[in-house]
Amino acid sequence: MKNLIILFMLTIAWSTQAQRTLIYAGRMIDGVSDKMKTEQTIVVEDKTIVSVEEGYTKPMNGDQIIDLKNKTVMPGLIDMHVHLEGETSKDGYLKEFTMNPADIAFESAKHAKTTLMTGFTTVRDVGGSGVNISLRNAINKGLVVGPRIYTSGKSLAITGGHADPTNGYREDLMGDPSAKDGVVNSVEDARKAVRQRYKNGADLIKITATGGVLSVAKDGVGAHFSQEEMDQIVKTASDLGFHVAAHAHGDEGMQRAVKAGVKTIEHGTYMSEETMKLMKEHGAYYIPTITAGMSVAELAKIDGYYPAMVAKKAAVIGPQISSTFSKAYKMGVPIGFGTDAAVYPHGENYKEFIYMVAGGMPAMEAIKCATSVNAEILGKSDLFGSLKKGLMADIIAVDGNPLEQIDDMGKVSFVMKEGVVYMD
CATH number for 109: 3.20.20.140
Residues 336 and 230 in one domain: yes
pLDDT value, residue 169: 78
CA distances from 227 to 181, 186, 250, 260 (A): 21, 11, 15, 7
Do 356 and 261 have their domain in common? Answer: yes
CA angle 345, 353, 407 (to 5 degrees): 85
DSSP character for 408?
Answer: G
What 3-state class would DSSP assign to 416? strand
Q: Is residue 49 part of a domain?
A: yes
Looking at the fold, whether 359 and 414 belong to one and the same domain comes out as no
Do 69 and 93 share a structural domain? Answer: no
pLDDT band at 11 (very low <50, low <70, confident <90, very high): very low
Q: Confirm whether 3 is domain-assigned.
A: no
Residue 16 has a CB neighbour count (10 Å cut-off) of: 7
Q: What is the pLDDT of residue 13?
A: 41
Strand pairing report for 48-54 and 64-75: unpaired
Residue 6 has pLDDT above 50, yes or no: no
> From CA 324, how far away is CA 273, in angstroms rounded?
10
For 212-223, what is the mean pLDDT? 78
Digit-coded pLDDT (tens) for 98-132: 899 999 999 999 999 999 999 999 999 999 999 99
One domain, residues 159 and 21: no
CA distance 351 to 354: 5
The strands making up 64-75's β-sheet, listed across from edge to edge, are 48-54, 37-45, 20-28, 64-75, 395-399, 412-417, 420-423
Q: Is residue 324 part of a domain?
A: yes
| Separation CA 95–CA 61 (nearest Å) | 55
Rounded to whole angstroms, the Cα distance separating 322 from 89 reads: 23
Helix axes 308-331, 351-358, angle to 10 degrees: 60
Q: What pLDDT does residue 152 have?
A: 98
User: Does the pLDDT at position 194 exceed 60?
Assistant: yes
Residue 101 lies in a domain: yes
127 shares its domain with 183: yes
Q: Is pLDDT at 316 greater than 90 in this prediction?
A: no
- Residue-level pLDDT at 306: 87
pTM of the model: 0.93
Q: Are strands 20-28 and 244-248 parallel, antiparallel or unpaired?
A: unpaired
Closest CA to 359 of 394, 404, 332, 324: 324
Q: What is the pLDDT of residues 70-104, one digit of tens each?
A: 999 999 999 999 999 999 998 888 888 889 999 99
Residue 179 lies in a domain: yes
| CB distance 22 to 65 below 8 Å | yes
**pLDDT for residue 31 is more than 90:** yes
Per the CB < 8 A criterion, the answer to whether 398 and 408 are in contact is yes
* Cβ-based neighbour number of residue 100 at 10 Å: 8
Q: CA distances (Å), 260 to each of 164, 237, 308, 313, 401, in order?
A: 22, 11, 34, 27, 41
241 shares its domain with 121: yes
Same-domain pairing of 67 and 143: no
Candidates 190, 297, 271; CA nearest to 234 is 190
* Domain around 39: 17-76+386-423
- Neighbour count for residue 340 (Cβ, 10 Å): 29
What sections of 118-186 are H helices per DSSP?
Answer: 131-140, 171-174
89 and 67 in a common domain? no
Helix spans in 150-260 (H)? 171-174, 187-200, 227-239, 251-260
Residue 22 included in any domain: yes
* Closest to 371 in 3D by CA, of 353, 389, 348, 359: 353
Average pLDDT over residues 173-179: 81
Q: Is the dihedral of CA 97, 153, 187, 261 positive or negative?
A: negative
Q: Say which CATH number the domain at 403 has.
A: 2.30.40.10
SS3 333: coil
How many domains does the structure of the chain reveal?
2
- Tell me the β-bridge partners of 417: 420
Residues 97 and 72 in one domain: no
Q: Based on the domain organization, do 165 and 117 belong to the same domain?
A: yes
pLDDT tens-digit readout, 274-304: 999 999 999 999 999 999 999 999 998 999 9
161: pLDDT strictly greater than 70: yes
State the DSSP H helix or E strand holding residue 314, giving kind and residue range, or none if neither.
helix 308-331
205-208/148-151 β-pairing? unpaired
Q: How far is the C-alpha of 354 from the C-alpha of 91, rounded, in Å? A: 29
Span 328-387, pLDDT tens digits: 999 999 999 999 999 999 999 999 999 999 999 999 999 999 999 999 999 999 999 999
Residue 195 lies in a domain: yes
Domain membership flag for residue 64: yes
Question: Are 28 and 140 in a shared domain?
Answer: no
What is the residue-wise DSSP string for 26-65? EEE--SS-SS-EEEEEEEEETTEEEEEEES-PPPPTT-EE
Residue 94 burial (CB count, 10 A)? 10
Mean pLDDT, all residues of the chain: 93
Identity (one letter) of the amino acid at 122?
Answer: T
